[in-house]
Structure 1
Amino acid sequence: MADLPDSFLTRPIAHRALHDRSKHRIENSRAAVSAAIAAGYGIEIDLQLSADGEAMVFHDDTLDRLTPETGPVTQRSTAELTRIPLTDGGETIPRFAEILSQVAGRVPLLVEIKDQTGCLGPQTGALEARAAALLGAYQGPVALMSFNPHAVAALARAAPGRPRGLTTCRFTPEDWPGTDQARCDSLTEIADFDRVGACFISHHHTDLETDPVARLTARRVPLLCWTIRSRAEERAARRIAANITFESYSAAIDLAAPAPKS
């Protein structure tokens, strides 16, 4: 299992790339990726699966919020998705392959595999395998993560040489419909960490002072956090987390900043 590269602990990571709708840089867009590269930030992006098995860079399960279209992403073909405009952005939904070519190893790339089951269930594999295939001979710092431990286990099989982690928080059935209380409790405890071969977590920034997080940081497991939206939130998070995923402001880059003590 690969370790998380040090660059993920020193460069702030732009959430869904460095998006700013007022500047026509929509989240997970090529323009947002370009802006993050120019600023020297790491980049976090999200992957969804098209109907014909392509990895698309898009956050939501449905098209409604970010495009003029409606309905599930997974019901549209690659050809359809690549023609759908991003609202206010002047561009269309990108394929993962395009973003890999655009980043080209210049900054760290944190890739979140979005849950394809609707309930954090075990019916995984297609998106993970496609992402792994596209990463192939990709050179440069890259790491993969998911809220769904089954997806991380699938990544372990599809891309055993790539660092992988769990995206974590305080899980509740209200926030994760179809996931019962017992499973939410297990996810909150980050009980799957060793089983899926994770090497880091990215945890919700309001919930960093918990026993499950403390147990992992005591083991020197790298701790990222999401999603920071102000300098005040950043200062609070950095007392515990090694690095932040941020949006809505300009995070300072200090490549010499030490990781917090556990």
Structure 2
Amino acid sequence: MPKLDPRFVTTPLAHRALHDVTDGRPENSRAAIRAAIDHGYGIEIDLQLSRDGVAIVFHDYQLERLAEAKGAVQQRTAAELAGIPLKGGDEGIPTFAEVLALVAGRVPVLVEIKDQDGVMGPNIGALEEAAARDVARYDGPLAFMSFNPHSVAKLAELAPDVPRGIVTDGYSAQDWQLLKPAVRDELRQIAEYDRVGASFISHQASDLKRPRVAELKAAGAHVFTWTIRSAEQDAIARQVAENVTFEGYLAAFPDV
């Protein structure tokens, strides 16, 4: 099991990079990534898959909330997506390879593979393959994670030397209506942690007191949390979590 770079513990992680559309920095944009680097922050980004099999740095499955277009990300090629402006900025949607070249190992990069199955099942693989290809020659602190344990297990096959973790949650029925109760129960218990060779979890901030989180931490798992939106929330979260994924404020660096 690959070890997580210690900089992931000491460097706050900017959620979808250091975004602020009032300053021309949309979510997951090059501008937000450059801003995070300038502040010395780590970067959390999201990957989706283009129609032609390229890993794209974009959070949503649909374009309309974040970009000047409508429809599914997977219906567009990488070249088409590059030409679609992000709302609140002056640039198109970047590929994962472009973002890696921009970061160039200067700060930690935490990469979330968005679930492509739809219900956290095993119908995955193409996005994981694209992401693994892009990081094959990358030199710098980087880790993969996903809500879907099948995705994390696939990454263990495709990129065995890259640290990996599971994005975890309280999995309420209200927030996860598409998931069957049995699936929510299994995911809530983080039952696949050992099987997929994870070294960390990134857990929902409001659910950090869950006993399973404490159990994993006591067994040596790194515990991160999402999404922290103030210094006050940060202080509370760090009573359990080693590091935070933050947005909407400038997180303080921990004393080490």
| TM-score band, normalised by shorter chain | over 0.9
Q: Map Cα deviations across residues 73-100 of structure 1 (whole Å, 9 max, x no partner).
A: 1111111111110011011000001000
Shift of 1:175: 2.4
Where in structure 2 are there 5+ consecutive unaligned residues? none
* 1:76 aligns to 2:76 (yes or no): yes
What is the CA–CA distance in structure 2 between the aligned matches of 1:242 and 1:78, rounded to whole Å? 36
- For residues 1-16 of structure 1, the aligned pairs below 5 Å read 1-16=1-16
- The SS at the match of 1:186 is helix
What is the CA–CA distance in structure 1 between the aligned matches of 2:119 and 2:173, rounded to whole Å? 10
Q: Which structure 1 residue ranges, 4+ long, deviate > 6 Å from structure 2?
A: none
Matched with 1:194 is: 194
- The SS at the match of 1:43 is strand
Change (3 A) 1:51 1:173: farther
With normalisation by structure 1, the TM-score equals: 0.96
What is the CA–CA distance in structure 2 between the aligned matches of 1:81 and 1:36, rounded to whole Å? 23
What is the CA–CA distance in structure 2 between the aligned matches of 1:78 and 1:41, rounded to whole Å? 27
* 1:126 aligns to 2:102 (yes or no): no
Shift of 1:38: 0.4
Matched with 2:183 is: 183
Matched with 1:25 is: 25
Matched with 2:157 is: 157
What is the CA–CA distance in structure 1 between the aligned matches of 2:78 and 2:33, rounded to whole Å? 20
What is the CA–CA distance in structure 1 between the aligned matches of 2:24 and 2:230, rounded to whole Å? 21
What is the CA–CA distance in structure 1 between the aligned matches of 2:74 and 2:169, rounded to whole Å? 25
Matched with 2:58 is: 58
> C-alpha root-mean-square deviation of aligned residues, in Å?
0.9
Residue 172 of structure 1 contacts residue 181 of structure 1 at CA under 8 Å; is this kept in 2?
A: no
Residue 119 of structure 1 contacts residue 177 of structure 1 at CA under 8 Å; is this kept in 2?
A: no
What is the CA–CA distance in structure 1 between the aligned matches of 2:42 and 2:64, rounded to whole Å? 27
Kindly provide the amino acid, as one letter, of the partner of residue 94 in structure 2. Answer: P
Shift of 1:188: 0.3
Matched with 1:221 is: 221
Shift of 1:173: 4.0
Kindly provide the amino acid, as one letter, of the partner of residue 242 in structure 2. Answer: A
Matched with 1:260 is: none
What is the CA–CA distance in structure 2 between the aligned matches of 1:155 and 1:212, rounded to whole Å? 24
What is the CA–CA distance in structure 2 between the aligned matches of 1:28 and 1:103, rounded to whole Å? 13
With normalisation by structure 2, the TM-score equals: 0.98
Kindly provide the amino acid, as one letter, of the partner of residue 89 in structure 1. Answer: G
Kindly provide the amino acid, as one letter, of the partner of residue 18 in structure 1. Answer: L
* 1:91 aligns to 2:120 (yes or no): no
The alignment-based identity, stated in percent, is 55
What is the CA–CA distance in structure 2 between the aligned matches of 1:98 and 1:166, rounded to whole Å? 25
| Matched length | 256
Matched with 1:210 is: 210
What is the CA–CA distance in structure 2 between the aligned matches of 1:58 and 1:241, rounded to whole Å? 26
